[in-house]
Amino acid sequence: MSLRSSAPRWNKAPENALGYEIAQEQAAALGRLGRALESALAALASHDRTLAESGHAAKPAAAVRTKLVQDASHALWCFIIQREACGLRDERQVVREYRVPGEVRNRMGAFGAR
């Protein structure tokens, strides 16, 4: 029976340590961007619920909604790009799991005046 070191594999070579650090940062960034997408989608849904409950749409509310859709589509775009950087290529899964509205998905990657 051989005794193997219990030290993590990334301690054996500097390039393994760097790869580990990169993977950690990719995962952390993916988590941050996922939370930002959830927040943007929640803000849009909340706004829509408020409009539906009030029963009328005012011009300022339409401008606010346009901004919320733009913010959500930008958050979706950032999240999809980060997923692709991590090797996750199927955006359909994101659209399903996060229940992304079609108008948000359609605007993904479209940049207006920010």
The domain ranges of the chain are: 12-107
Q: What is the pLDDT of residue 43?
A: 97
The 3 state secondary structure assigned to the chain is CCCCCCCCHHHCCHHHHHHHHHHHHHHHHHHHHHHHHHHHHHHHHHHHHHHHHHCCCCHHHHHHHHHHHHHHHHHHHHHHHHHHHCCCCCHHHHHHHCCCCHHHHHHCCCCCCC
| pLDDT tens sequence across 10-24 | 556 767 888 888 889
Q: Cβ neighbours of residue 99 under 8 Å, at least 6 residues apart? A: 41
Look-up of token digits 């829509």: 48
Q: What is the pLDDT of residue 1?
A: 47
Which residues in the chain show pLDDT less than 50?
A: 1
pTM of this structure? 0.78
